[in-house]
């Protein structure tokens, strides 16, 4: 189980700021995104704009293998706009 933190637009789309999800211990970042979208289909619209932070390190969606530990934090960080 990992803690998923939602920020900005991802929190609006998911309808919450954090939750705990059960995911495989070894998973690619793209597979992790797909698991999160299964739980919150509205997040699919930001797929090409989102970045993860896993244990406070940025991870792009793709083939990168993540080895998650119970209680790890995964932050969903959509693009930040502003001036």
* pLDDT of 80 above 80: no
Phi and psi at 54, nearest 5°, equal: -110, 120
Segments forming the whole domain that contains residue 51 = 2-77
- Give the pTM: 0.90
pLDDT at 81: 61
Arithmetic mean of pLDDT, 9-15:
95
Query: Residue 82 domain-assigned?
Result: no
Residue 79: pLDDT band with limits 50, 70, 90? confident
pLDDT over 60 at 38, yes or no: yes
**Residue environment code for 18-52, b if the CB has 16+ CB neighbours within 10 A, otherwise e:** eeeeebeeebbbebbbebbbeebeebeebeeebeb
Domains: count for the chain: 1
- The DSSP code for 70 is T
CATH number, residue 70: 3.10.20.30
Residue 83 falls inside a structural domain: no
The better pLDDT of the pair 17, 78 is held by: 17
């Amino acid at each position: 189980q990992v803690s998923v933190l939602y920020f900005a637009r991802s929190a609006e789309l998911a309808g919450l700021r954090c939750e705990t999800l059960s995911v495989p211990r070894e998973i690619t970042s793209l597979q992790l995104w797909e698991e999160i979208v299964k739980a919150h289909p509205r997040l699919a619209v930001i797929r090409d704009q989102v970045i993860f932070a896993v244990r406070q390190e940025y991870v792009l969606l793709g083939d990168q293998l993540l080895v998650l530990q119970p209680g790890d934090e995964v932050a969903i960080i959509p693009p930040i706009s502003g001036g």
